[in-house]
Amino acid sequence: MKKIENVLLFLTLLFLPTQLGRHFWPDFSYIYSLKIDYLSPTLYFWDILVIGLLILFFLQKPKINKLALNILLFFLLSQALSLFGAKNTGAGLVRLEQYAIAGLFGVYLASNKIQDTRYKLFVPLTLGVLFESGLAILQFLKGGTLGFWILGERTFSISTPGIAKFNFQGLEFLRPYGTFPHPNVLAGYMLIIMLLIRSKKTFIGLVTIILTMSRVVILVGLAGLFILQKKNIKIIMIIMIILSPILFTRFSSLFSYDNLTILRREELFISSWNLFLKNPIFGVGLNNFISDQQDLVTGPSRFLQPVHNIFLLALSETGIIGLIGLISLFSFTRHYILYPILFLGLFDHYFLTLPQGYRLLFLVWGLSFLNLKLK
């Protein structure tokens, strides 16, 4: 039974960045007759792996980390309370179920032995980084996807409307997605896993982060390099000088042709605050931001997205109670990887809204109870 558990743990970590799943489309998952992934009940292959892993784990009557379990239960309760009176209860239950699965996986990690966990985590996480990096680089070179639909890679090309692109010297390049729903999520995954395992074998992940052109992740990554790689500071400076024309173009575009992203985020910030004022204690309901905020946001098409800030999102959807529950996840643990997550969470929402995002969050959360450093 223990050997099967180890195999499932390996596969769970290996498939963490994938999004292969079966979507269902009840009435509550539609807005303006459009299918909204955020609201769709989905059975992911990763969920099946975790459920199997947990069943085998509990059958062996292990010693559970009670602190981690109690914090998770409090967090889930704080989120569930927001569903009383919510407009779209079904969507909230979808998110609550996903939090429960990912959160129990975190409790599983928190309940493991340090000496066993180090080896079991390092190999599959490293393989995941290498695969996603290779896939992302090939997507960039091809200008489209390669057909790995079995892992959740979506079908698109550089000419697909609304696809993420980068303009440099009049030439357009595809920002690679890997098996993620957006380049920013791919970049965040690469950064967090690379900081966690801290292996030279994942240097290719830095190339992937640059290709995604995710501004915030690049800034955090550079800061991390200066802090963690002080011995190689000269090499880092040379790399920055070489990349400076590309990085300058990417960041300066915020103040010219690419300022739509700022306008949209500003409107979502205002909208989230207004939703919070509607019900400051319990919010409008978990996973109900899009359902309650349906007005057309600046741009040529409807921008049905949550606010790009996990704390504002928690405040608007689950109120003060839910925000306390979210903060409790971070308050009882001490791990340096949590700080990049908190910072990235100020500028994006995927740690609370996308499957790879909250899997990554609870992975680090669970490991933080062990104060584990993978080397």
DSSP 8-class letter at 165: E
Give the HSE-up count for residue 112: Cα atoms under 13 Å, Cβ half-sphere: 27
Q: 174: helix, coil or strand?
A: strand
Q: 263: helix, coil or strand?
A: helix
Q: Please, is 31 exposed, middle or buried when counting C-beta atoms within 10 Å of its C-beta (0-12, 13-18, 19+)?
A: middle
pLDDT confidence of residue 152: 86
The residue ranges of every structural domain in the chain are 2-368
CA–CA gap between residue 209 and residue 187 (Å, rounded): 5
pLDDT confidence of residue 114: 60
pLDDT confidence of residue 256: 67
The H or E element containing residue 35 is strand 34-35
pLDDT confidence of residue 262: 80
Cα of 314 vs its chain's centroid, Å: 15
The phi, psi pair for 70, rounded to 5°, reads -65, -40
CA–CA gap between residue 128 and residue 137 (Å, rounded): 14
Angle at 106 between CA 42 and CA 360, to 5 degrees: 65
The phi, psi pair for 261, rounded to 5°, reads -65, -35
pTM for this model (two decimals)? 0.91
CA–CA gap between residue 68 and residue 121 (Å, rounded): 19
Sorted by sequence, the CB contacts under 8 Å of residue 65 that are 6+ apart come out as: 107, 110, 111, 369
pLDDT one digit per residue (tens) for the chain, 375 residues: 889 999 999 999 999 999 999 999 999 999 888 899 999 999 999 999 999 999 999 998 889 999 999 999 999 999 999 999 899 999 999 999 999 999 999 999 999 876 566 678 889 999 999 999 999 999 999 999 998 988 889 899 999 988 999 888 878 999 999 999 999 999 999 999 998 887 666 778 889 999 999 999 998 888 877 776 666 677 778 877 888 888 888 877 777 666 677 888 888 999 999 999 999 999 999 999 998 876 545 444 556 889 999 999 999 999 999 999 999 998 876 677 888 999 999 999 999 999 999 999 999 999 888 864 444
Sorted by sequence, the CB contacts under 8 Å of residue 369 that are 6+ apart come out as: 65, 67, 68, 109, 110, 333
Structure tokens at 369: 């109870």
Helix-strand-coil percent breakdown of the chain, rounded to 5? 65, 5, 30
Look-up of token digits 């500071």: 233
Sorted by sequence, the CB contacts under 8 Å of residue 117 that are 6+ apart come out as: 109, 367, 370, 372
Residue type (1 letter), 140: F
CA–CA gap between residue 222 and residue 227 (Å, rounded): 9
Cβ atoms of residues 128 and 144 within 8 Å: no
Q: Please state, in angstroms and as integers, the Cα–Cα distance from residue 2 to each residue in 6, 112, 122, 258, 348, following that order.
A: 6, 12, 19, 52, 38
pLDDT confidence of residue 375: 41
CA–CA gap between residue 120 and residue 105 (Å, rounded): 14
Residues linked to residue 23 through DSSP beta bridges, in sequence order: 42
DSSP 8-class letter at 229: -
